[in-house]
Amino acid sequence: MPIESPLTRRAFMTATAALGAGLAAPSFAQQAYPARPVHLIVPYAAGGGTDFFARLVAASMSTTLGQQIVVENRPGAGTQIGAEAAAKAQPDGYTFLLGDTSTYASNKSLYQKLPYDPQNDFAPISLTGRFAIVLLVNTDKLNVTSPQALIDAAKKAPGTIDYASAGVGSPFHLAAELFAQSAGIKLNHVPYKGAGPALQDLAGGQIGMMFVDFATARSQLSLKSIKAIGVCSPGEFYGLPRVPAVAATVPGFEAWAWQGFSAPAKVSPEIVAKLRDAYLKAVNDPDIKQKLIAAGIDPLQSTPQEMAAYVASETAKWEKVIKTAGIKLD
């Protein structure tokens, strides 16, 4: 015969209800996020490739999350302004960052002081995309048609070949320094305030070569004097199928301008997972993926752990290049 419980029916129901409410509380709190618009900080001005990526993906993520993602452009100081704002935001999931190579990897070695700690102030969410870098030459100014011919010319006259960049410490400047160091040559750096003015002088023949992302380079490739002689991906790049990889001449050479989502460091893993899931749904949408590829962006996705490992490897890689070249910024 079953033993009767000492709890009365009412007491049993009260205890059960209380236990159920306690167990349900974390689930309810998780489901409540986001309860208001989420802000995505882009550390670049509106209109560029990073901004294009952010706005395209954010629109889809907003639908998935049920709340608008507001894109905030906070350009300046090599992404430091936007990165600092994100690092110091409340870790509640309502602010996250679309940082890049500079933000996460190279700024640490370039600047004497940073207003944020790339390793400790962010919780990685996912790598999001990378921009193929192309080696362009103006053949009227610099008569070379391959990476090997460029290396040969530089060895014959060390330090006499000028190359443009979008600015000191930019991914394109660092790609050129990596190329010079890997090939054992000396090139002369001419920094500009942005890729646009640098490309204008390249097209005008004031300068002979530069490394730049494919999305930006495409507008120049229709010019008779402008030729892409190498890509910085380890193998053939889909956008320039007949252009060789620089790595075919300089083994192991590889350089990308890449980006990724992160949140303030102490954000909960549940919020990271929710933002990442919304991003994965967006980037795997065939229409969005095709628009990104058409814009010269190679879409990426990763786990937070994979992003952290990639950031660490890129930090070490560019630290070596920066220290060898003696590049410093205030």
Residue keyed to tokens 């990526």:
53
Tens digits of residue pLDDT in 56-105: 999 999 999 999 999 999 999 999 999 999 999 999 999 999 999 999 99
- Structure-model confidence comparison of residues 26 and 92, the more confident one: 92
Res. 328: pLDDT tops 60? yes
Q: Where residue 216 falls among pLDDT bands split at 50, 70, 90?
A: confident
Q: What percent of the chain has pLDDT over 70?
A: 91
pTM for this prediction: 0.85
Q: What is the pLDDT of residue 10?
A: 43
Q: 132-248: same fold as 37-130+257-325?
A: yes
Selected residue with higher pLDDT from 48 and 76:
76
**In the predicted structure, residue 19 carries a pLDDT above the cut 90:** no
Does 3 or 178 have the greater pLDDT score?
178
Domain positions in the chain are 37-130+257-325, 132-248
48 pLDDT tier (thresholds 50, 70, 90): confident
Q: Which residues lie closer than 8 Å to 141 by C-beta, 6 or more apart?
A: 205, 206, 207, 208, 225
* Cα Rg, the chain, nearest whole Å: 25
Band (pLDDT 50/70/90 cuts) for residue 262 is very high
What proportion of the chain, given as a percentage, has pLDDT over 90? 79
Report pLDDT for 288. Answer: 97
CATH topology (fold) of 37-130+257-325: D-Maltodextrin-Binding Protein; domain 2 (3.40.190)
Domain 132-248 in CATH: superfamily? Periplasmic binding protein-like II (3.40.190.10)
Side-chain-side CA neighbours of 233 within 13 Å: the count stands at 17
CA distance 106 to 118: 10
- Would you say residue 24 has pLDDT above 80? no
Whether residue 194 is predicted with pLDDT greater than 90 in this model: the reply is no
Tell me the CA distances in angstroms from 237 to 151, 183, 240, 260, 298, one per residue in order.
Answer: 21, 21, 6, 21, 10
**Phi/psi of residue 168, nearest 5 degrees:** -60, 130
> Nearest to residue 261, comparing CAs of 70, 129, 63?
129
CA atoms within 13 A on the CB side of 291: 14
Whether 25 has a pLDDT exceeding 80, the answer reads: no
| Mean pLDDT, all residues of the chain | 90
Phi-psi domain of 78 (left: phi exceeds 0; alpha: psi -120 through 50; beta: other) = left
